[in-house]
Amino acid sequence: MRNRQKDEIMRDILYSAQGGAGITKIMFHAYLTHGQAKEYTQLLIKSGLLEQDLETGSLRQFRTTPKGIEYLGAVERMSDMLAIETRRAAKPDDASPLSLL
């Protein structure tokens, strides 16, 4: 099993927090420890991609910002253009490198 890159982890967190999520939901969806989840949520908040959900009145809830949703769209388009296979991406039937020639 390969290690995930930072952008993959950030993407997983942003996807899980689109409708609002607590730290536990983020941990389970992104496969992180509590410490890692706290570290990444703080990084995403500083980047403006994630915010604490003030609508519910709970500082323990996180929500993906419009900028974060824009980021997710850009990452999706880029991986489509470059045909990058990610952990969540479906594998094509004919994945042979020779089929591209």
pLDDT tens-digit profile of 42-94? 999 999 999 987 776 666 899 999 999 999 999 888 888 887 665 554 444 44
Domain range for 24 is 6-82
What is the three-class DSSP state of 74? helix
Q: Classify residue 95: in a domain, yes or no.
A: no
Length of the chain: 101
Q: Give the domain CATH number at 67.
A: 1.10.10.10
Q: Evaluate if residue 98 carries a pLDDT over 50.
A: no
Look at the pTM and tell me if it is higher than 0.95.
Answer: no
Total structural domains within the chain: 1
- Mean pLDDT confidence for 8-31: 94
98 within some domain? no
* In-domain check, residue 70: yes
pLDDT at 60: 82
